[in-house]
Amino acid sequence: MFQDMPMSISQYKQKGGFIMSEVKKVVLAYSGGLDTSCIIPWLKETYDCEVIACTVNLGQPEDFDAIHQKALDSGASVAVTVDARKEFIEDYAYKVLQADGKYEGKYLLGTSFARPLIGKILVETAEKYGADAISHGATGKGNDQVRFELTIKALNPHLKIIAPWRLWTIKSREDAMAYAAAHNVPINLYDEKQTEEEKKEQKYPYSMDWNMWHLSHEGDDLENPANAPHKDMFLVTCDPEDAPDKPELVTLEFEQGIPTALNGEKLDGVDMVNKLNEIGARNGIGIDDIVENRLVGMKSRGVYENPAGSILYYAHQELEHLCLDRDTLHFKEMAAVKYSDLVYDGMWFSPLREALQAFSDETSKTVTGKVTLRLYKGNIMSHGAESPYSLYNEEFVTFGEDDVYNQADAQGFINLFGLPLTIRALMMEKNKK
């Protein structure tokens, strides 16, 4: 039988815990899974406190009514579900898109910017219900603990933070199952699949994070980077080999870097992402296999499905190449690296991220126009772009006769631009004598 916290109060506090008198009401980030369901009775037992379970709807395919009931059945006094889909896409995903945020050149940051939004909602819920603390189910090895806690510290530093995975003695799935059974926590069939035989029968044995922007797969055979992802693991998109043998065209319209219409139809953020996910999925778009550097100092391997995001990023960058001047475009590429690091590291509410966002907002003012893309078996290809702010001028770049560019001017430009090279060559020549 699982044993609860065989440690003294002083040891507990040294690990980051708080004594019972300090915590009377806790808001828990609740997913409905085994871990967060176990956290409810653990919090009540450890702190003699009230637990408010908060579930955030970011478009993940869940039965939120069932999650609500499971939270109550697990011992929560209150269970709330917040529909944050519109805010998630328009105030977070689109902002990252404007800034060209992409961690280590591949990861579209779907979990990274979801966590600050969830953290913000947890803080708002805590303030609404007069809670003393916020708890989460992130492990001590991952990035999410940092993202949740930095958000809480930035928005309400008076709230205490309880991270059970850094405190309790549950170390394995078997421990959690035993604890759940001992505390009358409802256990579903997925939770009960513990044996190797059952694991082999389980189609999706991976740790996942799923929202309407992306789905991530980690763990199991993916922990060895030499193993290719199985085609039957894909839950959003399809394997490119199974995509149609005919390309599909999509046309996206942007206003100031924000997507506004798909194939001529005006759409809000939620409908835009949902429809692009459907289109991208049937064409095998958006599969990224990444070995990334975690903030906590280790590498991790994940396979991401991001059809809508992949299409939007490609179209957005095509429009930027058309509408931004060389210096601005190149500086934005450098700024995007730092911006992406900040988002990945959970620094959404930091002054620097907000300043870089202001830069992105300013440089996006001319990123307006229309882009057509061709989707074919996992590939995205350009099929034309236009903008009233296009800096491409056919009269300037033509190889034919024109009245706007005197080719003879190039000689003086080259002489001045190359002057440092000329001086260096003369110096080296002189020193050889």
For this structure, is 115 an active site residue?
Answer: yes
* Gap between the Cα atoms of 98 and 290, Å rounded: 23
Q: Which residues contact 261 (CB under 8 A, 6 or more apart)?
A: 252, 253, 267
Helix axes 34-47, 64-73, angle to 10 degrees: 30
Question: Would you tell me how many other CB atoms lie within 10 Å of the CB of residue 15?
Answer: 11
Catalytic residue among 31, 112, 115, 135: 115
Q: Which of 329, 321, 330 lies closest to 371, judged by CA?
A: 321
Measure CA 405 to chain center: 46
Task: Give the C-alpha distances (Å, rounded to integers) separating 310 from 25, 217, 222.
Answer: 41, 17, 22
CA 219 to chain centroid: 18
Per annotation, catalytic residue among 77, 207, 300, 382: 207
Report how far residue 105's alpha carbon sits from residue 417's, in angstroms, rounded to the nearest whole number: 32
Is 403 part of the annotated catalytic residue set? no
Catalytic residue among 31, 35, 112, 360: 35
Catalytic pick among 144, 209, 288, 345:
144
Token digits of residue 11? 């040891």
DSSP 46-112: HH--EEEEEEEESS----HHHHHHHHHHTT-SEEEEEE-HHHIIIIIIHHHHHTT--BTTTB--TTT
**By the 8 A CB rule, do 165 and 140 touch?**
yes
The CA distances from residue 60 to 21, 114, 197, 208, in Å, are 37, 12, 29, 11
Per the rule left: phi > 0, alpha: psi between -120 and 50, beta: everything else, 49 is beta
Annotated catalytic residues are 35, 115, 144, 207
